[in-house]
């Protein structure tokens, strides 16, 4: 059954769409088109002369080994962030789904971190893991780990992944909890009567029924890791030490705003956009097949 | 042996609400027991307690000679059919039925044999590779039954399994469930709020109300001799006519009877036991003077709704008729006109007498 509305005036539906279309045009298509245009240009450092150079910015970008390193780094980041935040959020949601006293309270508390701004989350983790001030860093030192994210690239990556994943957990948690509660209780009861122990019940019934939620969250989390980690990286490491945390989106900022190479920066933005669109398309095309809607 | 015994079973929820207030009965091996009652009477809760999905506050639930109060649902050797079928939506029909057997580590060939056998009995062999969402309501119902029978459990539990089906299919499935149960001879407990389902399926009928048992017995026995006015108005459709005997002319018709009858407070008579008659005297029985208010013709029979003059009071039980309203069932389609005054009579042996509070039956 399809519900169809009929309008008396042919103008009204277009009028109703206008605000949405205007917003998308103004804030997405226009800047995107500008980025594409900019990526074909070469500007001198003072912005006094501009030359149209077709694909030279792209060609130069693709010959830089640093660019490939940044691509690889970004993929590692997004896999680590999406993987850890999704699995931890799922664990929390499964536990919060149990009918315990005060569940409303702790469910609310688990959602709050989402309201924290990325930079604030970054600062929070900086202080906890600061090599000389941090509480957690002290503990790590005590365990014999020479913790120093300001000098050690791997430590810096860990720090960013921790902060970025932590911030995303509450968002994932919310969707997982909703997904879990949408599973009919009687199906799980039937599985219990069918002799499935809790772990087996989870992997053979709950998890397959959650796949639509999981799929949606994978897409959202990867896009988050690609773009929204900017604030955290900027606040915590500024891309350092020695480019260890310089992801694609941060490189766009460094080369364009700080390096003044607007043409290359625009080319990188366009590439980034293409990568994310391609990733999402792949996910929809292949992962969705395994999803049981 | 797989008889089921409930001994003084109680259920109190943490809030203090007493859902089950002490229930005792026994279902002998292979019998079909139906729990019937209005919604909220605790019948589903009781079934879920037998399944192990609800805890037992006190008392004992015994399946096949073993007290199972603390036993996990999986280890009680029961199978349950849920109202919404509760099929696993991501599994094929075959896997839905095989799941419980796989969990118990049964060898593959035996699983296959059992699933195909059950599929054949239920005529769903052609659907084994489909997912539940590709099936109709009746087919899903069969799969849910299949999932129960492949396990060959000691007890089947049915929680209103037919209430999501349309009326025609419900009748057909009702007959099939009964045939299947006769064939497998598995002790069964079936919960329903539909008195017709209850009457047609049960070997043992348990009528429940407000967390308590109102009456247990053979369905026809209960129909013939309801123990309370609640049972009288719940079992049978249309419900039994209940007439208060507060000293009026009806009571006068019983003058000179034994003391127990004289103490009766409520008179009951089923619509099918009333006859429309022009006889001035109804010897030994009762005569009710009615004004016809409405007529319902359903084909093979006709229901005449009449009102008695000077009737008062309020109806107590759910499904009970409004005070003063009397239904007369007459065969065929010929009926009096609306507004006509008629006299309905019933012989003495068709009358039921209850105490004034309706809680006790008085034999005439």
The full set of domain ranges for chain A reads: 65-290
Res B261: pLDDT:
66
Cβ–Cβ below 8 Å for B87 and A200: no
Q: CATH second-level architecture of A65-290?
A: Orthogonal Bundle (1.10)
* B104 in A contact zone (CB under 8 Å): yes
* A292 in B contact zone (CB under 8 Å): yes
Cβ–Cβ below 8 Å for B88 and A192: no
Res B350: pLDDT:
86
A240/A260 Cα distance (integer angstroms) = 19
Q: Which residue of B has its CA nearest to A205?
A: B88
Res B318: pLDDT:
60
Task: Flag residues of chain A having pLDDT under 50.
Answer: 1
Cβ–Cβ below 8 Å for A200 and B103: yes
Angle between helices A65-96 and A153-181 (to 10 degrees): 40
Which one of B13, B52, B80 makes the best mutation probe of the A interface by having the most chain A beta carbons within 10 Å? B80
Res A1: pLDDT:
46
For A110-151, what is each residue's pLDDT tens digit? 778 778 777 787 788 888 877 777 778 777 777 877 777 777
Helix segments in chain B, DSSP class H: 43-51, 93-103, 108-121, 137-149, 167-184, 195-201, 219-224, 229-234, 249-252, 259-262
* A200 in B contact zone (CB under 8 Å): yes
What superfamily does domain B230-362 belong to in CATH? Nucleic acid-binding proteins (2.40.50.140)
Domain ranges of chain B: 4-228, 230-362
Detail the DSSP E strand segments found in chain A: 41-43, 50-52
Evaluate whether B4-228 and B230-362 have a shared fold: no
B273/B294 Cα distance (integer angstroms) = 19
B-chain CB neighbours of A204 within 8 Å are: 99
Of residues B20 and B249, more confidence is placed in B20
Res B201: pLDDT:
92
Cβ contact A205:A188 at 8 Å: yes
Q: What does each C-alpha distance from A68 to A4, A154, A250, B113 come to in angstroms?
A: 50, 18, 14, 57
For A86-100, what is each residue's pLDDT tens digit? 999 999 888 888 777
- Name the helix (H) or strand (E) containing A96: helix A65-96
Cβ contact A226:A76 at 8 Å: no
Res B109: pLDDT:
93
Please tell me which of the candidates A186, A197, A204 has its beta carbon nearest to residue B86: A186
Of residues A96 and B279, more confidence is placed in A96
Cβ–Cβ below 8 Å for B78 and A190: no
pLDDT above 70: residue B359: yes
Cβ–Cβ below 8 Å for B86 and A190: yes
B183/B121 Cα distance (integer angstroms) = 10
B203/B30 Cα distance (integer angstroms) = 10
Cβ–Cβ below 8 Å for A196 and B51: no
Cβ contact B284:B254 at 8 Å: no
Res B81: pLDDT:
93
A-chain CB neighbours of B90 within 8 Å are: 208-209, 292
Q: Which residue of B has its CA nearest to A200?
A: B103
Q: Which residue of B has its CA nearest to A208?
A: B90
Res B275: pLDDT:
87
Q: To the nearest whole angstrom, how far is the Cα of A197 from the nearest Cα of chain B?
A: 8
Number of A/B CB contacts below 8 angstroms equals 60
% of chain B residues with pLDDT over 90: 45
Q: To the nearest whole angstrom, how far is the Cα of A149 from the nearest Cα of chain B?
A: 46
- Reported as a pLDDT band with limits 50, 70 and 90, residue B250 is low
Please tell me which of the candidates A191, A193, A209 has its beta carbon nearest to residue B51: A193
B356/B264 Cα distance (integer angstroms) = 6
Which one of A184, A194, A203, A293 makes the best mutation probe of the B interface by having the most chain B beta carbons within 10 Å? A194
Q: Which residue of A has its CA nearest to B76?
A: A193
* B99 in A contact zone (CB under 8 Å): yes
For B100-141, what is each residue's pLDDT tens digit? 999 998 999 999 999 999 999 888 899 999 999 889 888 999
Please tell me which of the candidates B80, B84, B90 has its beta carbon nearest to residue A184: B84
A-chain CB neighbours of B73 within 8 Å are: 189, 192-193
For B69-107, what is each residue's pLDDT tens digit? 899 998 999 999 999 899 999 999 999 999 999 999 899
* B86 in A contact zone (CB under 8 Å): yes
Which one of B13, B50, B74 makes the best mutation probe of the A interface by having the most chain A beta carbons within 10 Å? B74
Q: CATH second-level architecture of B4-228?
A: 3-Layer(aba) Sandwich (3.40)
* A182 in B contact zone (CB under 8 Å): no
- Residue B86 in tokens: 């509760």
A-chain CB neighbours of B100 within 8 Å are: 193-195
ipTM rounded to 2 decimals: 0.83
């Amino acid at each position: 059954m399809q519900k169809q509305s009929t309008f008396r005036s042919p103008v009204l539906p277009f009028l109703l769409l206008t605000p949405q279309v205007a917003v998308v045009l103004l804030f997405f298509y226009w800047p995107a088109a500008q980025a594409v245009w900019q990526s074909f240009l070469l500007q001198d450092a003072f912005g006094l002369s501009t030359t149209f150079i077709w694909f030279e910015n792209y060609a130069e970008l693709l010959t830089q080994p640093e660019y490939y390193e940044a691509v690889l780094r970004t993929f590692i980041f997004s896999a680590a962030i999406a993987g850890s935040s999704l699995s931890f959020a799922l664990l929390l949601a499964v536990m919060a789904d149990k009918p315990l006293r005060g569940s409303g309270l702790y469910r609310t508390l688990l959602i709050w971190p989402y309201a924290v701004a990325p930079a604030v989350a970054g600062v929070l983790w900086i202080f906890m893991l600061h090599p000389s001030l941090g509480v957690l860093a002290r503990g790590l030192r005590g365990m014999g780990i020479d913790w120093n994210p300001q000098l050690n690239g791997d430590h810096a990556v860990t720090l960013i992944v921790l902060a970025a994943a932590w911030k995303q957990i509450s968002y994932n948690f919310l969707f997982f909890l909703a997904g879990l509660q949408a599973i009919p209780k009687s199906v799980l009861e039937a599985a219990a009567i069918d002799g499935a122990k809790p772990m087996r019940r989870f992997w053979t019934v709950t998890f397959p029924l959650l796949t639509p939620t999981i799929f949606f969250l994978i897409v959202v989390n990867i896009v988050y890791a690609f773009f929204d980690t900017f604030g955290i990286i900027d606040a915590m490491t500024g891309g350092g030490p020695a480019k260890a945390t310089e992801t694609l989106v941060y490189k766009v900022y460094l080369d364009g705003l700080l390096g003044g190479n607007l043409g290359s920066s625009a080319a990188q933005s366009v590439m980034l956009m293409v990568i994310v669109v391609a990733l999402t398309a792949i996910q929809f095309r292949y992962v969705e097949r395994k999803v049981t809607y | 042996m797989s008889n089921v015994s409930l001994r003084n079973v109680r259920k109190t929820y943490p809030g203090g609400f007493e859902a089950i207030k002490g229930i005792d009965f026994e279902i002998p091996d292979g019998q079909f027991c139906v729990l019937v009652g209005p919604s909220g009477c605790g019948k589903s809760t009781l079934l879920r307690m037998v399944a192990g999905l609800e805890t037992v506050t006190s008392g004992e639930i015994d399946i096949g000679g073993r007290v199972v109060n603390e036993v996990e649902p999986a280890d009680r050797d029961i199978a349950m059919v849920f109202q919404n079928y509760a099929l696993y939506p991501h599994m094929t029909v075959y896997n839905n039925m095989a799941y419980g057997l796989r969990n118990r580590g049964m060898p593959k060939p035996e699983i296959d044999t059992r699933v195909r056998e059950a599929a054949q009995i239920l005529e769903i062999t052609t659907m084994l590779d489909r997912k539940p969402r590709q099936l109709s309501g009746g087919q899903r119902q069969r799969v849910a039954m299949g999932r129960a029978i492949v396990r060959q459990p000691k007890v089947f539990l049915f929680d209103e399994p037919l209430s999501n089906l349309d009326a025609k299919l419900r009748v057909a499935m009702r007959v099939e469930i009964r045939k299947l149960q006769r064939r497998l001879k598995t002790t069964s407990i079936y919960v329903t709020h539909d008195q017709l389902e209850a009457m047609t399926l049960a070997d043992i009928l348990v009528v429940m109300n407000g967390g308590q048992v109102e009456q247990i017995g053979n369905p026809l026995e209960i129909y013939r001799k309801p123990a309370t006015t609640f049972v009288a108005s719940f079992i049978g459709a249309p419900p039994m006519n209940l007439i208060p005997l507060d000293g009026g002319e009806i009571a006068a018709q019983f003058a000179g009877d034994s003391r127990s009858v004289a103490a009766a407070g409520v008179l009951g008579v089923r619509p099918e036991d009333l006859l429309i008659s022009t006889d001035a005297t109804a010897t030994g029985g009762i005569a009710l003077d009615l004004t016809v208010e409405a007529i319902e013709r359903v084909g093979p029979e006709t229901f005449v709704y009449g009102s008695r003059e000077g009737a008062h009071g309020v109806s107590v039980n759910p499904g009970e008729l409004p005070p003063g309203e009397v239904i007369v069932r007459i065969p065929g389609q010929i009926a009096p006109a609306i507004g006509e005054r008629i006299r309905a009579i019933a012989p003495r042996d068709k009358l039921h007498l209850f105490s004034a509070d309706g809680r006790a039956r008085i034999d005439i």
